[in-house]
Structure 1
Amino acid sequence: MKTNLNMVTSRRKELLELIAAAADEIASIDRNLPILYSQALEEDLLQSEENALAQTC
């Protein structure tokens, strides 16, 4: 019985470590989202300007 308890406790610890690592990665992504959104908007604006210029030529 002790072996099963040790295995379950160990697996629980592993899973909590995985969850903590995933939470850290999600937080890192969330920190970068405003920059990525800004870059995407800038790229869209540049593309729109290029398309407008191409249509006027």
Structure 2
Amino acid sequence: MYDRTIVNVDSIEGLVSNPKHAAYCTSKAGIHGLTRGRSTVAPKASVATQLRRGGSTPT
């Protein structure tokens, strides 16, 4: 059982590049990597690490 939970919100653009959104894609790729890296350390610290991929929102 985990004492704490970290939830990071990701985007598909963190996995697939989009030239018009270079900075956004880079930041989401960083979140993806951070979450994956943290998930290998977190079980030892009783922290659950989850990655949630958000959906598109028409504006």
Q: TM-score, normalised by structure 1?
A: 0.42
Whichever of the two has the greater Rg, that structure is: 1
More helix as a share of residues: 1
More strand as a share of residues: 2
Q: TM-score, normalised by structure 2?
A: 0.41
